[in-house]
């Protein structure tokens, strides 16, 4: 795909984030969509392309009253929205539609109008994982961690520092759910969830949503907001079964999507001013830094523990506080994208000065899928 031909011209989260007991999941989609449409200065009738995950496109389009000529229901977990951005950019370039709305919402905490996730007993996961006691992401996502630690010499303290640093960023974000400072000792003394991970190394469970609006870069200059261009994109999937990953020393989906996006953008790692790596659990930024090629995996734990990703550090990472401290409704990818867009617009609460290139990397399922978007505010 050609770089910088499509731009984000509308971006917004739901009016509230956190615990929202007075709205269904579907209404949260609508709330985010209406906020993004207002942000872009558009009318609903201007939207001719639509993408969402978990909820079907027909469900959300009908509720909003949108009549699309292009839809994408790709639903590969929390990074689905990175894939939607990639697919929407291709569709706009191909002339299939002009203005695409992407929505996410999840009533992850209040569970209003949300179908429970279930694993059929005759699926491969139901036969070969569920009988051994996996029960939701905290029991599954950290399964590779001990092998990763042994292979690369990563310590428990380094993995705890991920949560500490992200809390520093969260403290600068008024909308972050958790803002009180924490220490490595606090993390290592918090309640055990699934060894080696404790409560503060696991993401929050909240309600909320977000929406993006994309159009061609040529049209984008006429919109009220500073356009944020799609510079490079990548995507892949590996397996829905964490036990069947090729290796626990890296993610094949990360190693496919990330470098693809860098190549398409034509950038080197030193060009990256701002980085988001979807952090459902504390090991994901380490996998991401290694698999995206920022440094050898061996160095990732020390890099974060030494403060290189904290406010003022040389590689600002997860500047909203991440899934660990900002919010995590279940599919966090949309919130990572929102923070990249804010940083590129120059309006983030914890703004990285003069940031021109932002890399936003998402994971879906338990390393099942991945999507990477490189944004820039210069064409």
For another protein, the binding residues (CB under 8 A) are 119-122, 124, 126-136, 138-139, 142-147, 150, 191-197, 241, 243-244, 248
Q: Closer CB to another protein, residue 59 or residue 151?
A: 151
Tell the smallest beta-carbon distance from residue 196 to another protein (Å): 7
Tell the smallest beta-carbon distance from residue 220 to another protein (Å): 43
Tell the smallest beta-carbon distance from residue 17 to another protein (Å): 24
Q: Closer CB to another protein, residue 46 or residue 186?
A: 186
- Residues paired with residue 228 on neighbouring β-strands, in sequence order: 8
Instruction: State the Cα–Cα distance between residues 145 and 143, nearest whole angstrom.
Output: 6
Q: How many other C-beta atoms lie within 10 A of the C-beta of residue 71?
A: 18
Q: Closer CB to another protein, residue 58 or residue 247?
A: 247
Q: Closer CB to another protein, residue 130 or residue 295?
A: 130
What secondary structure does DSSP assign to 142-159, as a single string? TTTHHHHHHHHT--HHHH
Residue with tokens 């009016």: 15
Distances (CA, A) of 96 to 92, 161, 229: 6, 46, 19
3-state secondary structure (DSSP) of residue 82: helix
Contact status, residue 197 vs residue 145, Cβ threshold 8 Å: yes
Tell the smallest beta-carbon distance from residue 147 to another protein (Å): 4
Tell the smallest beta-carbon distance from residue 21 to another protein (Å): 22
What phi and psi, each to the nearest 5 degrees, are found at residue 265? -75, -20
Q: Closer CB to another protein, residue 274 or residue 283?
A: 283
Tell the smallest beta-carbon distance from residue 157 to another protein (Å): 15
Q: Closer CB to another protein, residue 12 or residue 145?
A: 145
Q: Give the tokens for residue 212.
A: 């993006």
Residue with tokens 């759910």: 177
3-state secondary structure (DSSP) of residue 275: strand
């Amino acid at each position: 795909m050609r770089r910088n031909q499509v731009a984000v011209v509308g971006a917004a989260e739901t009016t509230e984030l956190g615990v929202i007991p007075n709205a269904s999941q579907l209404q949260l989609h609508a709330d985010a969509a209406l906020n993004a449409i207002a942000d872009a200065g558009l009318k609903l009738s201007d939207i001719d392309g639509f993408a969402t995950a978990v909820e079907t496109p027909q469900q959300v389009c009908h509720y909003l009253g949108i009549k699309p000529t292009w839809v994408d229901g790709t639903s590969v977990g929390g990074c689905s929205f990175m894939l939607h951005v990639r697919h929407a950019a291709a569709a706009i370039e191909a002339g299939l539609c002009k203005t695409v709305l992407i929505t996410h919402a999840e009533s992850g905490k209040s569970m209003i109008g949300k179908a429970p996730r279930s694993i059929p007993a005759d699926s491969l996961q139901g036969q070969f994982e569920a009988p051994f006691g996996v029960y939701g992401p905290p029991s599954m996502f950290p399964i590779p961690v001990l092998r990763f630690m042994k292979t690369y010499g990563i310590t428990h303290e380094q993995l705890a520092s991920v949560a500490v640093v992200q809390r520093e960023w969260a403290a600068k974000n008024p909308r972050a759910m958790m803002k009180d400072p924490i220490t490595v000792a606090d993390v290592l003394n918090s309640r055990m969830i699934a060894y080696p991970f404790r409560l503060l190394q696991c993401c929050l469970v909240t309600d909320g949503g977000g929406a993006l609006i994309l159009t061609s870069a040529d049209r984008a200059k006429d919109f009220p907001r500073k356009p944020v261009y799609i510079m490079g994109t990548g995507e892949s999937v590996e397996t829905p079964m964490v036990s069947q990953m090729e290796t626990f020393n890296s993610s094949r989906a990360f190693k496919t999507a990330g470098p693809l996006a860098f190549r398409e953008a034509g950038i080197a790692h030193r060009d990256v001013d701002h980085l988001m790596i979807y952090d459902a659990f504390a090991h994901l930024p380490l996998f991401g830094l290694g698999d995206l090629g920022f440094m050898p995996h061996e160095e990732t734990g020390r890099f974060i523990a030494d403060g290189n990703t904290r406010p003022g550090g040389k590689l600002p990472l997860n500047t909203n506080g991440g899934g660990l401290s900002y919010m995590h409704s279940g599919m966090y990818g949309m919130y990572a994208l929102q923070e990249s867009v804010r940083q590129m617009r120059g309006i983030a609460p914890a703004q990285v000065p003069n940031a021109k290139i932002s890399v936003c990397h998402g994971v879906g399922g338990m390393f099942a899928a991945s999507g990477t978007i490189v944004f820039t505010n210069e064409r």
